[in-house]
């Protein structure tokens, strides 16, 4: 996973009206964390990632935080989490 792949995933999500799921490492934890970025926040969040992470998707101010996976995901996941149908 690198910055170019991340940009591709965000573009795919934007073109298809999807959200993005990001998996990243957390300092001092064995398990990763999952973040879901809603479609309406894609531009803002991609700008944040490209400004604050290097080409290998390691956070500039904390080398223990790294984006390891990203996926374009259907909106139904968020609807299910909220209890909507």
- Tens digit of each residue's pLDDT (9 = 90 or more) over 23-59: 999 999 999 999 999 999 999 999 999 999 999 999 9
The answer to whether the beta carbons of residues 32 and 23 sit under 8 Å apart is yes
Distance, CA of 19 to CA of 8 (rounded, Å): 13
At 78 the pLDDT is 64
**DSSP-derived secondary structure letter, 36:** E
Lowest mean pLDDT among 5-9, 51-55, 74-78, 79-83: 79-83
Predicted TM-score (pTM) of the model is: 0.88
At 85 the pLDDT is 56
Distance, CA of 20 to CA of 3 (rounded, Å): 14
Q: How confident is the model at residue 82 (pLDDT cuts 50, 70, 90)?
A: low
Residue with tokens 């259907």: 74
């Amino acid at each position: 996973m690198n910055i170019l792949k991340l940009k591709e995933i965000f573009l795919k999500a934007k073109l298809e009206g999807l959200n993005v799921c990001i998996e990243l490492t957390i300092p001092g934890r064995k398990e990763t964390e999952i973040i879901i970025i809603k479609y309406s926040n894609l531009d803002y969040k991609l700008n944040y990632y490209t400004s604050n992470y290097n080409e290998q998707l390691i956070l500039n101010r904390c080398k223990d935080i790294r984006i390891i996976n990203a996926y374009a995901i259907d909106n139904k996941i968020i609807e299910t989490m909220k209890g909507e149908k």
